């Protein structure tokens, strides 16, 4: 997918690869450290069926009809207030996705699931705990 996660001093930056940026009409997503309220792992099969609509860009949505596909971009979730930004590679229902609950940001949460994301949950949790 070509997506990179960067942890700066005060912000998390998701740099989307060429294909993902074409699908979402954006190149980066920036989240200040102070906006991340919680980080946890959740099973893809528990999250994906609640995707109701893709806000912008092109590509699959409706998680209950098209499960386990690559999902990149802002999504709306049934029963939730606010948009979520998904950057998830194709995978199985048992895949662990990293969910970052956000406060005071344009997105209510980030959902991250990348092949290169091994250890990402711990790395993000450690980074957030360094808040000053």
Burial pattern 30-42, b for ≥16 Cβ within 10 A else e, equals: ebebebbeebeee
| Confidence class for position 63, pLDDT limits 50, 70, 90 | very low
| Confidence class for position 118, pLDDT limits 50, 70, 90 | low
For residue 8, pLDDT over 50 is answered with yes
Domain count, the chain: 1
Instruction: Report the share of the chain in percent with pLDDT over 70.
Output: 83
Domain that holds residue 96: 4-129
Specify the pTM: 0.81
């Amino acid at each position: 997918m070509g997506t990179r996660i960067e942890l700066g001093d005060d912000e998390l930056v998701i740099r989307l690869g060429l294909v993902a940026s074409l699908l979402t009409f954006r190149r980066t997503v920036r989240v200040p450290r102070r906006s991340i309220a919680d980080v946890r792992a959740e099973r893809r099969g528990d999250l994906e069926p609640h995707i109701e609509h893709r806000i912008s860009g092109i590509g699959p949505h409706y998680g209950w009809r098209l499960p386990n596909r690559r999902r990149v971009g802002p999504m709306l979730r049934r029963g939730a207030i606010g948009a979520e930004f998904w950057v998830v590679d194709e995978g199985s229902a048992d895949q662990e996705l990293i969910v970052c609950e956000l406060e005071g940001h344009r997105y209510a949460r980030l959902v991250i699931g990348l092949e290169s994301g091994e250890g990402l949950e711990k790395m993000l949790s450690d980074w957030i705990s360094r808040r000053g």
